[in-house]
Amino acid sequence: MLALGLQVRPCPDGSIAVMRRFAGLPVAWLPAPVSLPDRRKTMAPVTLISSTDAAMDAKLRKTGAIPVITPQCRAILNLSADTATRRAALHPKWRNRLVAAENAGLKLHHCPLPDANDHWLLQAESTQRRQRKYRALPTGFALAWPETRLFILRKRQTNLAAMLFLMHGTGATYHIGWTGDEGRKLNAHNLILWQAAHWLAQRGCTQLDLGPLDTEHAPGLARFKLGSGARPESTGRSWLYTRATASLGRLIT
């Protein structure tokens, strides 16, 4: 966040608050609080709290905070099991596509993401974003992340597909990816995700966050994530807290 030019403050529980301004009003966003913030020591007139789970939601209902965004469902892949168990958890069609990709003689390379704004994956994903009209974090976010792993599948020195993962402690998160027509025909992302999960597990990662499950706008992508053996897991709601609206919040929640 600091590398992107945002103001960040530490919270007493070890998490962070990102300071923003909306319509001239200071807002403190708590993206992943470990515990409920102390309402007597607010960092800004408005606090936006992205709750981690339903248990935190239940506590927030008693504080006067108002829910403003519904929970998000994410695909979480367990990497703590052995390879045979993880392979058995694959959906049969997903496994068949993986086998086909494994037998296609494709070459997989992986390395940290180079510190270059013009890296071909970042450019390709930006173009893809404009074409498909979806929003994502800015390019600088990935470049500023401390530990990344980029997996690229090539055929005769031609890039067929790629997936970028952000590593954090004993976890990792899928960040961006791209594939062309030939890569889709060859099930490139099945092979990349399987090999990346294996590499991450060997490095001590116990779970891989594959991102949101959107069955309405991206049903194919949701099936791909769940087919890999990932389980759906819900986050909490996002809540808005101000002293001025606390009484109203207690009435409506």
Q: Is the same domain home to 66 and 81?
A: no
CATH code at position 160: 3.40.630.30
* Overall number of domains in the chain: 2
Prediction pTM value: 0.91
- The mean pLDDT of 175-203, rounded to a whole number, is 96
Q: Is the same domain home to 65 and 78?
A: no
Q: Is the same domain home to 120 and 225?
A: yes
Q: Is the same domain home to 82 and 142?
A: yes
Identify the pLDDT of residue 41.
Answer: 73
Residue of 151, 149, 154, 127 whose CA lies nearest to 139 = 127
pLDDT in tens, 141-150: 999 999 999 9
The reply to whether 107 falls in a domain is yes
pLDDT in tens, 61-101: 888 899 999 999 999 999 999 999 999 999 999 999 999 99
pLDDT band with cut points at 50, 70 and 90 for residue 200: very high
SS3 per residue for the chain: CCCCCCEEEECCCCCEEEEEEECCEEEEEECCCCCCCCHHHCCCCEEEEECCCHHHHHHHCCCCCEEEECCCEEEEEECCCCHHHHHHCCCHHHHHHHHHHHCCCCEEEEECCCCCCCCHHHHHHHHHHHHHCCCCCCHHHHHHCCCEEEEEEEECCEEEEEEEEEEECCEEEEEEEEECHHHHHCCHHHHHHHHHHHHHHHCCCCEEEEEECCCCCCHHHHHHHHHCCCEEEECCCEEEECCCCHHHHHHHC
Structure tokens, 240: 């808005």
Domain residues for the domain of 100 are: 73-234
